[in-house]
């Protein structure tokens, strides 16, 4: 985990306001008891050294019950940039409510079914998010009320969700940028073919009707704790 390098990736934007914005996209950590606190601390230090304007946590933060990773989650409170979280399917399975409580105590903003305005220097942007598509199976509603565009075009919107499938909701909201994870880039080749059967995008940068879509391969692993031809990913997205 701590050895994953920050990768600077430039994304062209049609929105002048967004140019120069730097977003650290952190996804799919899959924290479990096998992870060491020292490694997570070093990962946080590396992120802080990259000095992003904001940090997007796009789900699957945990891969074990919250009671077994309770000592790890508060370490994310050392992230220096404003940090925003949307839940993934694993977060729903392993204890959404206690996870959210710990994240909020660590100063991390929950964006599940929410929209928030953020000022960076003299510039205002909006962020919006959705909980994972599996949330309703765990008795949690996915609200879409916040997707109305409102003052369309005046304040650019960055949209967070866990699964690439939710790009349609980002389009509906008038987003300039949609960030997601979930796929792990296939994690182990040739399983990427199976991922492509269920998701519209596998990894990296895509364009849909002018909106930029970025799918992170994530930092952690699931199931088999190995990667092959789908290396771990810690992208620093720079809008140009």
Spatial distance between the Cα atoms of 70 and 238, rounded to a whole number of angstroms: 32
Contacts of 47 (CB under 8 A, 6+ apart): 6, 24, 26, 55, 79, 81, 234
Give the pTM.
0.95
Confidence of residue 2 (pLDDT cuts 50, 70, 90): low
Nearest CA to 162 out of 238, 72, 58, 84 is that of: 58
Return the structure tokens found at 15.
């929105």
Spatial distance between the Cα atoms of 179 and 211, rounded to a whole number of angstroms: 11
Query: 145 in helix, strand or coil?
Result: helix
Q: Which domains are seen in the chain, by residue range?
A: 6-239 (3.60.21.10)
Spatial distance between the Cα atoms of 169 and 116, rounded to a whole number of angstroms: 16
Task: Tell me the pLDDT tens digit for each residue of 134-182.
Answer: 999 999 989 888 887 655 558 999 999 999 999 999 999 999 999 999 9
Spatial distance between the Cα atoms of 158 and 170, rounded to a whole number of angstroms: 8
* Peptide bond just before 123 cis, omega within 30 deg: no
> What are the φ and ψ backbone dihedral angles of 165, each rounded to 5 degrees?
-55, -25
């Amino acid at each position: 985990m701590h050895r994953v390098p920050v990768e600077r990736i430039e994304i062209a934007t049609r929105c002048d306001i967004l140019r120069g914005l730097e977003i650290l996209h952190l996804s799919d950590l899959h924290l479990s008891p096998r992870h060491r606190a020292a490694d997570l601390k070093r990962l946080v230090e590396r992120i802080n050294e990259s000095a992003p304007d904001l940090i997007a946590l796009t789900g699957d933060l945990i891969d074990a019950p919250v009671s077994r990773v309770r000592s790890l989650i508060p370490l994310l409170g050392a992230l220096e940039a404003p940090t925003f979280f949307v839940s993934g399917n694993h977060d729903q399975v392993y204890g959404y409510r206690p996870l959210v409580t710990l994240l909020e105590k660590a100063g991390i903003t929950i964006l599940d079914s929410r929209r928030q305005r953020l000022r960076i220097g003299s510039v205002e942007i909006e962020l919006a998010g959705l909980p994972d598509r599996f949330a309703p199976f765990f008795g949690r509603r996915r609200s879409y009320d916040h997707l109305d565009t409102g003052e369309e075009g005046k304040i650019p919107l960055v949209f967070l969700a866990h699964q690439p499938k939710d790009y349609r909701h980002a389009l509906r909201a008038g987003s300039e940028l949609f960030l997601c994870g979930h796929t792990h880039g296939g994690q182990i080749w040739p399983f990427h073919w199976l991922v492509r059967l269920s998701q519209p995008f596998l990894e990296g940068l895509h364009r849909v009707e002018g909106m930029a879509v970025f799918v992170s391969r994530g930092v952690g692993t699931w199931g088999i704790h190995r990667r092959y031809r789908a290396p771990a990913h810690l992208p620093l997205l720079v809008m140009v």
